[in-house]
Chains A and B, each alone.
Chain A
Amino acid sequence: MGRNAVVGALALGLALAVPLIVQSGFWLNLLTLMLFFGYLGGSWNILGGYAGQFSFGHAAFFGTGAYVTAILQLSLGLNPWVTMLFAAAGGASVGLVTGFLSFRYGLRGSYFALITLAFSEVLRVLATTAKITNGGQGLVIPLRTGLGNFQFAGKAGYYYVALAMTLISLAAAWCIEHSRFGARLMAVRENEDAAEALGVNAFGHKLAAITISGMMAGAGGTFYVQMFFYVDPAIAYGPAMSVESLLVSIIGGMGTVAGPLLGSIVLHLVGDLTRKVLANAPGISLVLYGVLLILILRYLPNGLIGGARALAGRVGLGTARSGSTG
């Protein structure tokens, strides 16, 4: 534990100092997005990694949070920080409802993946047609920079908020991993029937996981709207957010604390650098995402963290922790 704490403290110190060292807008922006998708992947990971329920419609939670934030600011003039609470509640509610329906009727595995995708598509169509979301044109939030307003003139402000959110999500994952709740959740993931036979309420645990996951993703929606000042149905509920949240978790390592963040760092390094180098090649970065996903599944099915642990174990550096691999 001692060594981990030192490494963690060093990483945190470095992360806090980054905006003082890095002045380039490109790099600060990239780092902010890495943290943001690490956070979003972290929210997916609670449901997908720890509870073993693969959601293909994570955008349903994120998008609801984004719209709640935008609508409450525009119609009631609420402070963005306050709307974050409502966004989290919105994401949690969508999680609770979709989770209740899916788990109540016993959908597992691929069926769960399909129904979550369908839920996010329903929300996308509704957002495209409803008046309150301004249909396909989307919503623009009023521009009022200032810390109290969750809008920053420079990039550093967003970086620090994203960093704080990521730290919270890492802490949440760590707490889940080291709690009885988490142990039961992983038992459900490994073998739901066996877990039930041992007295674990599988339905309740999965429902709690999807609600927490939805709550975090909803708050993530607030951050996105505050950073880009804009939301429309494709951004909020389109497949891109869902795919990216699961990609970073799988590439980094599902069911691990740091997996989603590591996955996000790797994915964005690969993606954004290609985008910078090959400026006239639309789609190429996403092609690389797909290639990376297949290679990871083929050679490192437990993600980068799982692979690193296996390597450490082989070399004998293992911290006597076999990890939560499936």
Chain B
Amino acid sequence: MLELTILAPALINGAMTGAVYALIALGLTLVFGVLHIINFAHGSLLMVAMYGVFFLNRHLGLDPYLAIPIMTAAMFALGFGLQKSVISRASHGRDEMILLVTLGISLIIENLALYLWSADTRNVQLPYGFAVVNLGVALVSRTRLIAFVAAVVLSALLWLLIDRTDLGKAIRAVAREKQGARVVGIDVEHIYAMSFGIGVACLGAAACLLLPIYYVNPQVGNVFVLVAFTIVVLGGMGSFVGAFAGGIIIGIAESLGGLFLGESLGQIGIFLIFIAILLFRPTGLFRARA
């Protein structure tokens, strides 16, 4: 069972999937870790983005990878608008309320999708969909390799944005001390909306990378929501490096779990990791205990 020819592809494919998980989790860690907003609509918003990619491809013939700039911008606008117009107003600034508001949003989005686009599962057909690349120890499909590389690049860009720009500095200031940030003249409401927008924009990019290797239906977001939360908690709230590493770890854990326990029982590993981390090491693997 433990032969390299079986294990190596499982490891590599796990890492590839993990990179896309990481991209989904990066958006969540920004919102969840930095602003302490639990965004239950994260999965539904990913689903919306995936439908966006699907329809752009179907009606305009746009390649999913070329759709990245469009989808990122569109999802940013959606996230920004949602935070400004719905979440901030309905939650009265209380954490548990935000959780419930985003739950309401996800109910609306998911069921509207069911109504508009039916429960059918769809995917895109690409001319290079079955092309493979030989990495020496394993054959990897080209779409997965692109997703991996793009996820790495996008994560680095996000890190630069948060670490090196004024906007990033303002976001970190709001995260650390909301009142203090307000005192020094930062428009906190605006920063909230920007952060939420950036977090959702990550989903736009993730959707473009994900659709060529996955499928979309109105429930697809549920698959990723707990996975993304697990990664965020595993990597440590608000830690981008942690989220990336966490994504890879979860991707590999899922792939190995599927290999040894079978498809359906393999999922349980993610939830058990999640529970164990929450209970025993809530600050994540990559941070010292506070």
Contacts and interface: CB of A to CB of B under 8 A. Distances in A.
Contacts of B110: 283, 286
A314 B26 CA distance: 47
Q: A interface, by DSSP: helix, strand, loop or mixed?
A: helix
A250 B100 contact: yes
A78 interface: no
Contacts of B5: none
Given A109-B95, A110-B38, A117 B226 contact: yes
Contacts of B280: 105
B278 interface: yes
Interface residues of A, number: 38
A113 to B, nearest CB: 6
A105 B282 CA distance: 9
A167 B91 CA distance: 32
A191 to B, nearest CB: 14
Nearest to B222: A239
Nearest to B32: A110
A229 B45 CA distance: 36
Nearest to A101: B279
B271 A293 contact: no
B133 interface: no
B97 A297 contact: yes
A289 B107 contact: yes
Contacts of A243: 103, 107
A284 B99 contact: no
A11 to B, nearest CB: 29
A126 B266 CA distance: 10
A107 B104 contact: no
A157 B134 CA distance: 66
B111 A107 contact: no
Contact of A110 (B96, B105, B226, B268): B96
Contacts of A287: 107-108, 111-112, 115
Q: B interface, by DSSP: helix, strand, loop or mixed?
A: helix
B274 interface: yes
B162 to A, nearest CB: 22
B38 to A, nearest CB: 4
Contact of A113 (B36, B38, B92, B119): B38
Interface in A283-305: 283-284, 286-287, 289-291, 293-294, 297-298, 301
Contacts of A101: 275, 279
B271 A125 contact: yes
Given A110-B96, A284-B115, A298-B90, 13 more contacts: A107-B278, A118-B271, A129-B262, A239-B222, A281-B115, A283-B112, A283-B113, A290-B105, A290-B106, A291-B108, A293-B101, A294-B104, A297-B101
Q: Which 3 A-B pairs have the closest CB atoms?
A: A290-B107, A283-B111, A290-B108
Interface of B: 36, 38, 86, 89-92, 95-97, 99-101, 103-108, 110-115, 118-119, 218, 222, 226, 229, 233, 262, 264-265, 267-268, 271-272, 274-275, 278-280, 282
Interface of A: 54, 101-102, 105, 107, 109-111, 113-115, 117-119, 121-122, 125-126, 128-129, 239, 243, 246, 250, 281-284, 286-287, 289-291, 293-294, 297-298, 301
